[in-house]
């Protein structure tokens, strides 16, 4: 690593003239931009090598990576740029704060483009020797042609691209040259033919497989279309069955509903008829009970007669107060008898319906009011009569 930190004199003689800011760059883009940036400056200085040798030409540039106080990318970029500068052996120094570099753009190694591609195999032989090599049968043993080398006087050498071509006629090196691992022209020709045959076979196999795959694809497509058509047909038949089933179901539902309405109507008519018959029976019974003297009315009349008889027989011995008490007791007795009668009527009405019960209650209440009025009138008459007789 060549890091020249003692370049104060050079830094003072030449202040930074160019700046490259790498903020927001990823490592790959940052390295690429630094390389292009330095190469552009070096190419603008045609006499950079002469200047460097005489120590007069120095160009300092500033490469800003960031210190990491605002973003974690700064230290990563700084480390990558430092490795690049060290790899190229350039003069640089890290500025205070660690956020940028001062770099001599003309220092370090130059980058060269790749040389054009050249053939690295050259065969040097006379016409007769080349003809002998081209027509000789293969005698390949362990990757070499030693048998051919023993019977011939040709010279084959391997030369790298850019090196001078020369023939070495020394007979001491013939065996070594022919016993090397480098292929001969006939071997290359045969290998090319083999490669061509293999390529043609591969193409034929590929075409055969492609035709087979196309045939299979067409067969699969045909099967798929057939299955799809069958599925559509099945769906159509199923839809028809479902339509018929829905119509039949609607017909059954309609028939069931009509039958239900008819049954309900007959039941309602039967109920109404029974209700009318019961109502008529109750009305007849109520009329009969109203017209027929009841047990309570008989008791009331009998009690009134007895009360009058007792009043007439005992009018001399009883006072007015006694008559009043006796009349009140008889009234209470009649009231209890009336309650018993009303309970019997309520039970009878409950067995025939609520409407009948209300009707009976109204009739009973009316009858009770009439009886009470009659009783009070009879009591007043009895009291008046008793007073008058005394």
Can you read off the two tokens belonging to residue 321?
């107060």
Quote the pLDDT of residue 85: 92
Quote the pLDDT of residue 87: 92
Q: How confident is the model at residue 312 (pLDDT cuts 50, 70, 90)?
A: low
Can you read off the two tokens belonging to residue 11?
């830094």
Q: What is the pLDDT of residues 316-363, one digit of tens each?
A: 455 566 666 777 777 788 778 877 877 777 776 666 555 665 776 777
Q: Residue 18: which of 131, 135, 112, 100 has the closest Cα?
A: 100
Quote the pLDDT of residue 336: 82
Quote the pLDDT of residue 51: 46
Q: What is the pLDDT of residues 139-194, one digit of tens each?
A: 444 444 444 444 444 444 443 444 444 444 444 444 444 445 566 778 788 888 88
Q: What is the pLDDT of residues 275-287, one digit of tens each?
A: 788 778 877 776 7
Quote the pLDDT of residue 83: 92
Of 36-40, 113-117, 163-167, 348-352, minimum mean pLDDT range: 163-167
Percent of the chain as helix, strand, coil, to the nearest 5? 70, 5, 25
Of 26-40, 119-133, 310-324, minimum mean pLDDT range: 310-324
- The DSSP letter of residue 163 is S
E strand or H helix at 60, and its extent?
strand 60-64
Q: Residue 326: which of 250, 386, 255 has the closest Cα?
A: 386
Q: Is the pLDDT of residue 377 over 60?
A: yes
Q: Which residues of 228-263 are buried (b: 16+ CB within 10 A; e: fewer)?
A: eeeeeeeeeeeeeeeeeeeeeeeeeeeeeeeeeeee
Q: Is the pLDDT of residue 103 over 90?
A: yes
Q: Residue 390: which of 305, 337, 338, 312 has the closest Cα?
A: 312
Quote the pLDDT of residue 63: 92
Quote the pLDDT of residue 360: 61
Q: What is the pLDDT of residues 222-281, one digit of tens each?
A: 888 888 888 787 777 777 767 777 788 888 888 888 888 888 888 888 888 887 887 788
Give the up-direction half-sphere exposure of residue 16: CA atoms within 13 A in the CB hemisphere: 14
Q: How far apart are CA 331 and CA 337, in angstroms?
A: 10
Q: Using the structure block, give the residue that is written with the tokens 């013939």.
A: 174
Q: How confident is the model at residue 82 (pLDDT cuts 50, 70, 90)?
A: very high
Q: What is the mean pLDDT of the chain?
A: 71
Q: Is the pLDDT of residue 5 over 60?
A: no
Specify burial of residue 45 (Cβ count, 10 A radius: 0-12, 13-18, 19+).
middle
141: β partners: 144
Quote the pLDDT of residue 155: 40
Quote the pLDDT of residue 102: 93
Higher-pLDDT residue of 64 and 52 is 64
Quote the pLDDT of residue 24: 84
| Residues of the chain above pLDDT 90, percent | 8
Of 61-65, 117-121, 149-153, 370-374, minimum mean pLDDT range: 149-153
Q: Are 360 and 344 in contact (CB under 8 A)?
A: no
Quote the pLDDT of residue 280: 81
Q: How far apart are CA 290 and CA 286, in angstroms?
A: 6
């Amino acid at each position: 690593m060549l890091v020249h930190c003692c370049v104060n004199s050079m830094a003072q003689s030449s202040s930074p003239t160019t700046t490259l800011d790498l903020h927001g760059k990823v490592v790959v883009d940052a390295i690429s931009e630094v390389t292009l940036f330095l190469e552009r400056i070096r190419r603008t200085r045609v006499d950079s090598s002469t200047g460097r040798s005489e120590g007069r030409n120095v160009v300092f540039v500033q490469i800003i990576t960031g210190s990491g106080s605002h973003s974690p990318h700064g230290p990563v970029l700084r480390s990558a740029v430092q490795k690049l500068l060290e790899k190229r052996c350039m003069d640089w120094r890290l500025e205070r704060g660690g956020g940028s570099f001062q770099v001599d753009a003309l220092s370090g190694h130059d980058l060269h483009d790749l040389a054009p591609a050249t053939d690295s195999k050259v065969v040097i032989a006379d016409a007769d020797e080349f003809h002998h090599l081209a027509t000789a049968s293969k005698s390949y043993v362990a990757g070499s042609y030693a048998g051919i080398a023993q019977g011939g006087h040709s010279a084959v050498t391997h030369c790298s691209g850019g090196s001078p071509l020369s023939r070495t006629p020394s007979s001491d090196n013939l065996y070594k040259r022919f016993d090397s691992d480098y292929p001969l022209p006939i071997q290359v020709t045969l290998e090319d033919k083999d490669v061509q045959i293999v390529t043609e076979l591969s193409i034929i196999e590929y075409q055969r497989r492609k035709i087979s795959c196309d045939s299979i694809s067409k067969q699969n497509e045909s099967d798929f279309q057939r299955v799809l058509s069958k599925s559509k047909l099945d769906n159509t038949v199923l839809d028809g069955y479902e339509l018929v089933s829905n119509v039949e179901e609607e017909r059954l539902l309609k028939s069931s509903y009509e039958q239900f309405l008819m049954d309900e109507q007959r039941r309602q008519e039967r109920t109404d008829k029974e209700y009318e018959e019961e109502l008529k029976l109750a009305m007849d019974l109520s009329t009969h009970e109203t017209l027929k003297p009841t047990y309570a009315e008989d008791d009331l009349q009998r009690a009134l007669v007895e009360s009058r008889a007792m009043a007439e027989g005992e009018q001399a011995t009883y006072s007015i107060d006694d008559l009043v008490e006796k009349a009140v007791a008889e009234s209470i007795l009649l009231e209890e008898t009336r309650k018993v009668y009303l309970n019997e009527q309520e039970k009878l009405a409950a067995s025939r319906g609520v409407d009948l019960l209300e009707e009976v209650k109204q009739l009973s209440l009316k009858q009770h009011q009439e009886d009470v009025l009659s009783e009070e009138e009879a009591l007043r008459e009895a009291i008046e009569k008793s007073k008058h007789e005394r």
